[in-house]
Amino acid sequence: MMFLTQSTLEGFPGEIYSSLIVLLIIFVICLIVFIKVRKTDPLAKPKGIVHLAELLVTTIDGMVNDFMSPSLRFLGGYFTAVAMYVFISFIFGLVGLPSPVTYLIVPLLFGLLTFLLIHGVSIYHQRWKYFKRFTAPVFIFLPINLVTMWAPLLSLSFRMFGNALAGWVLMTIVYDALQKASAMLFAFLPAGVNTIFIAPFIASWLHIYFDLISAFIQTMVFITLSMIFIGQEVPEEAIKPLTIAAQREV
């Protein structure tokens, strides 16, 4: 199991280059979907990658309506892109390269984007009333409110980073233990060769959880919590008219 710890170009960590590769993968996927959609009959039942893309977009748009507001429907594209990036980043360890989300700055940036959206949506709906939150219920709570406002940023960032790093550390320990066990059982073989026999049969099953299942869970947790945090900033009186209008359209 290889890990790219440091680049030879200006000392950038390997996770940065892994992140660029993930972005390239997403670009290629989107390009393929775009080409396939243009060639697909709009009246025919979608299949293959087009069906998967439609399922992803429909699911994210549904979550935006459920957890946020129909007025924030335009954020569906943003959360679709985030879901793709986070999921691919978590499973990136399967190719032996470092996962971008094990580099703290990446989860921190995603948490910061959610943080900015939370306060941006709040300012848009509440205008100057937005600043009352910092002195509620009384002015003496100003220092506490200024500290607690950063809770979503830290919660989202460190949850993603902690789970990714924990999976990486555990798999590293497992690989090291299995290589040593293999070296002991096949000591009659040349050094280096005798360490590769056990790990593929056991570690591959662990990758199903620590990479695939964990990737799905952490992706859903991040985008769901982000939507809930943002949706809490939309006043109820702003949601009701949109909901009634949507029901009339149906």
Residue 7 lies in a domain: no
Structural domain span for residue 33:
14-249
Predicted confidence (pLDDT) per residue in 136-161, tens digit? 777 888 888 888 889 999 999 999 99
Predicted confidence (pLDDT) per residue in 80-90, tens digit? 999 999 999 98
Across all residues in the chain, what is the average pLDDT? 82
Give the pLDDT score at 4.
45
Using 50, 70 and 90 to split pLDDT, how confident is the model at 208?
confident
pLDDT over 70 at 74, yes or no:
yes
Give the pLDDT score at 242.
52
pLDDT over 60 at 15, yes or no:
yes
Q: Which range in 185-199, 212-226, 234-248 is most confidently predicted, on average pLDDT?
A: 212-226
Residue 6 lies in a domain: no
pLDDT over 90 at 59, yes or no:
yes
Using 50, 70 and 90 to split pLDDT, how confident is the model at 47?
confident
pLDDT over 70 at 249, yes or no:
no
Predicted confidence (pLDDT) per residue in 218-244, tens digit? 999 999 999 999 998 887 766 655 554
Number of domains in the chain: 1
Mean local confidence (pLDDT), 170-177: 83
Say how far apart CA 191 and CA 237 lie, in whole Å: 71
Mean local confidence (pLDDT), 25-51: 87
Residue 98 lies in a domain: yes
Residue 191 lies in a domain: yes
